[in-house]
Amino acid sequence: MSGFDRVIVVDWSASKAPSPKVPSADAIWIAVQAGGQTTCTYHRTRADAMATLCAEFDAAILAGQRVLAGFDFPFGYPAGFARAVTGTSDPLALWGNLAKWIKDADDNANNRFEVAGDLNRLFPGVGPFWGCPAAIADDVLPAKGSARHGHGMTERRKIETLIASAQPCWKLYTTGSVGSQALLGIARLQGLRERYGAALSVAPFEAPDTPIVLAEVYPSLLAAEIAARQGVDEIKDRAQVRVTAQALAGVPGEQMDVMLREGDTEEGWILGVGHEDALRASLERAPVPPLKNDCFALPPGVHWTPVDKALADLRQRLGPVVGSETAPVNAALNRVLAAHVIAPRAHPPLPNTAVDGYGFAGGKAESVHDMPVIAAQMTAGRTPDFEVPSGSAVRILTGAALPGGVDTVILQEDVQRTGGRISFHGPIKAGANTRAAGEDVETGACVVSAGRRLTPADLALLSAVGVGTVSVRAPLRVGVLSTGDELVAPGSDAGPGQIYDANRPMLLGLIDRLGHVGIDLGHVNDDRTALSGRFDDAAARVDVIVTSGGASAGDEDHVSALLNASGHMALWRIAIKPGRPLALGMWQGVPVFGLPGNPVAAMVCTLVFAAPALAQMAGAGWSAPQGFDVPAGFEKRKKAGRREFLRARTRDGRVEVFQSEGSGRISGLSWAEGLVELPDDALHVRPGDPVRFIPWSGFGA
Ligand code: AMP
Ligand code: MG
């Protein structure tokens, strides 16, 4: 794809000092996309970033590869600027001059404001550059844009008139400015032109037929897609370069070539404007990054991991593992939205009436109204193509747009109609019984956010603003496998020592309730070869494997043993009751949740740990259980040091718990309607004390 072997995207910075040691926003971030992998690096100085870029370019040239490097600052200025400064309209002549004038030290110290002032002196009046710290502002380089006049330059490049959110290149300082980035960036890129000579071209000023091509990019073109793909705790700048690089890398080569040749060859152009659909389609095709094999690793020496720590670790290390696809809204119920949806149209689109009645221009304070009703009438769906004269009323029906001259509607029940006139008593508030355009949703507002599992109401909202298709996540396929020599299928004959497999139907049911696709992987005996074969088969057709049984560290715990020997595994000893260690592993890149065999523990661990983790992997974000406090209808003492979950249900405003805490009592699971969660600290619950009850639905099940 794209005709390039490497695609690099740089988030540039005009900082005057090195950025913080700890990776942070508003610094330089570089994403390198090659061979289906994206690597992101953080750079404290421009000099450091340039060294990395040169290393990438050198490596590409040595390997006979092509590189596209995108930078998020303007490569040129509005038409006429280059000629005014250099005597020619060649923007690259201007690059040469800027490289001579700009001083940009290894520690980021630089003279951008002086250079901007010198450039301003070449123009009449004040400007075009503006914006700097108040202490150094003067008549030549004012702190305020409004102080400029008579410099003769237009404010925006043509490309910036197409993208309202793009900032003009004249503004050098404070929020959102790109002017300083451009001055410092162009000077640095000119250094690359000198170093790589004929091997490098700058789009769209030069034909992109070279091994290295530089282009201007604008990550905000894909704002919604970036937001949808931003990792938990990922710095936005990093997500911007990462996702933009992925999007560019996946554009078909021929289209990329067209894109690179487009635009204004004096002012410059933002790569991909007008091709947003191709960029989005490329992201939809982009493979989801695999989870790391060590994603479940635990810090050494940890003995009993508190529940909250275990949850925080899972939350941080897991990400979406499913790609996305397009679905019609009417087939998108329960699907997870892959990208934010922006309203293409306001709701309501026009001011309209909320009732059946008569519309007129309101605001008159008199108490007796008497007015003629015009012949035309307004019904829902009709275009308001006439005016209602002042002092007249129009018959109008619920949902109809207000015609010109109407801002108030009176209910038909409140008027007396005689022939062609209506009359009524009492003042009426201007605007009464009407709905303003956009009062529900304004055009451009984000109506439903990425990660949302679509409800029937969401489908109504999406449809109301005119959205016909949405980008949704592919369903998460969760394989469920039971392990243990003692298990037989329900309905078959069981020997005296055998038990029926109760976990599999329960877990498949939970997966279904959680909104995923459960895939029955059957039952396997405590036999490592058989288990390994089953894992191999499952890894090819599911996104996650959930097993029950054999997850501890004993002799017969074959799930743990196998994952330890042939996959990657961490045994999480979590301070929770019920629930023994949780075996979390990877088999051929597929995460494995090894649940305890005990049905009560298997269910509690699924709800507490697997449910939020599966939601995260499905692209729906982490789902914390929603519970509420209810007075206890029981008494209970617990020691400190572990979280306890009791099978519970509410009756008559109190929460009652199952008579036995025995972890083998499946009847208690069936009796319960949720769980009571008791905190890690010691506790003596007396009847009437508030305790946290989480109904099954609070877990999403
Ligand atoms: P394990 O974790 O394999 O040591 O199993 C713990 C307990 O759970 C044992 O009593 C098992 O017999 C029981 N068990 C394991 N798997 C299932 C299952 N699928 N259905 C019902 N009980 C099970
Ligand atoms: Mg077992």
Cα-to-centroid distance, 545 and ligand 1 (Å): 17
pLDDT value for 514: 97
Domain count, the chain: 6
**Which ligand 1 atom minimizes the distance to the CA of 551?**
2
**Which ligand 1 atom minimizes the distance to the CA of 552?**
2
pLDDT value for 232: 61
- For residues 61 and 198, membership in a common domain is answered with yes
Q: In terms of pTM, does the model score above 0.75?
A: no
Domain CATH for 666: 2.40.340.10
- For residues 203 and 62, membership in a common domain is answered with yes
Q: Establish if 296 belongs to a structural domain.
A: no
Calpha distance 263→269 (Å, rounded)? 5
Q: Could you read off the pLDDT of 568-625 as tens digits, one per residue?
A: 888 788 889 998 788 889 999 899 999 999 999 999 999 999 999 999 999 998 989 9
Contact 32, 5 (CB under 8 A): no
- For residues 673 and 685, membership in a common domain is answered with yes
SS3 of 388, please? coil
- For residues 195 and 229, membership in a common domain is answered with yes
- For residues 469 and 480, membership in a common domain is answered with no
Average pLDDT over residues 335-364: 91
- For residues 517 and 427, membership in a common domain is answered with no
Q: Establish if 117 belongs to a structural domain.
A: yes
For ligand 1, whether the C-beta of 499 sits within 6 Å is: yes
- For residues 40 and 94, membership in a common domain is answered with no
Q: Could you read off the pLDDT of 607-620 as tens digits, one per residue?
A: 999 999 999 999 99
Domain CATH for 452: 3.90.105.10
- For residues 126 and 167, membership in a common domain is answered with yes
Ligand that lies nearest to the alpha carbon of residue 503, given by its number in the listed order: 1
Ligand that lies nearest to the alpha carbon of residue 486, given by its number in the listed order: 1
Cα-to-centroid distance, 599 and ligand 1 (Å): 7
Cα-to-centroid distance, 523 and ligand 1 (Å): 12
Q: Establish if 520 belongs to a structural domain.
A: yes
Residue nearest to atom 15 of ligand 1 (CA): 597
Ordered alpha helix ranges (H), 41-171:
46-62, 81-86, 91-101, 112-121, 158-162
Q: CA 501: distance to chain centroid? A: 40
**Above 90 in pLDDT, residue 267?**
yes
Q: Which amino acid is at 367?
A: S
Average pLDDT over residues 231-235: 74
Average pLDDT over residues 355-361: 96
**Which ligand 1 atom minimizes the distance to the CA of 580?**
2
Q: Which residues contact 73 (CB under 8 A, 6 or more apart)?
A: 12, 178, 181, 182, 185, 186, 216
Cα-to-centroid distance, 503 and ligand 1 (Å): 8
pLDDT value for 607: 97
Query: Which residue, 188, 221, 253, sits at the end of a domain?
Result: 188
Confidence class of residue 229 from pLDDT cuts 50, 70 and 90? confident
Q: Could you read off the pLDDT of 680-691 as tens digits, one per residue?
A: 998 999 999 999
CA distances (Å), 18 to each of 13, 21, 22, 27, 110, in order?
Answer: 10, 8, 11, 9, 12
pLDDT value for 364: 66
Ligand that lies nearest to the alpha carbon of residue 548, given by its number in the listed order: 1
> Which of 79, 258, 102 lies closest to 182 in space, CA to CA?
102
For ligand 1, whether the C-beta of 597 sits within 6 Å is: yes
Contact 414, 424 (CB under 8 A): yes
Cα-to-centroid distance, 600 and ligand 2 (Å): 14
Q: What is the mean pLDDT of the chain?
A: 93
Cα-to-centroid distance, 603 and ligand 1 (Å): 12
pLDDT value for 153: 96
Q: Which residues contact 639 (CB under 8 A, 6 or more apart)?
A: 682
CA distances (Å), 151 to each of 126, 148, 166, 642, in order?
Answer: 6, 8, 21, 71
**Above 70 in pLDDT, residue 288?**
yes
Q: Establish if 492 belongs to a structural domain.
A: no
Confidence class of residue 36 from pLDDT cuts 50, 70 and 90? confident
Q: Establish if 266 belongs to a structural domain.
A: yes
- For residues 58 and 202, membership in a common domain is answered with yes
- For residues 279 and 361, membership in a common domain is answered with no
For ligand 1, whether the C-beta of 547 sits within 6 Å is: no
- For residues 361 and 389, membership in a common domain is answered with yes
Q: Establish if 21 belongs to a structural domain.
A: yes
Q: Establish if 169 belongs to a structural domain.
A: yes
Q: Could you read off the pLDDT of 144-170 as tens digits, one per residue?
A: 999 999 999 999 999 999 988 889 999
Q: Could you read off the pLDDT of 552-568 as tens digits, one per residue?
A: 888 888 899 998 888 78
Q: Establish if 40 belongs to a structural domain.
A: yes
- For residues 329 and 467, membership in a common domain is answered with yes
For ligand 1, whether the C-beta of 486 sits within 6 Å is: yes
Choose one of 503, 508, 571 to mutate for the ligand 1 pocket test, by most ligand atoms within 8 angstroms of C-beta: 503
Query: Which residue, 286, 309, 337, sits at the end of a domain?
Result: 286
Average pLDDT over residues 496-504: 96
For 370, the domain range is 352-435
CA distances (Å), 480 to each of 204, 255, 602, in order?
Answer: 54, 44, 12
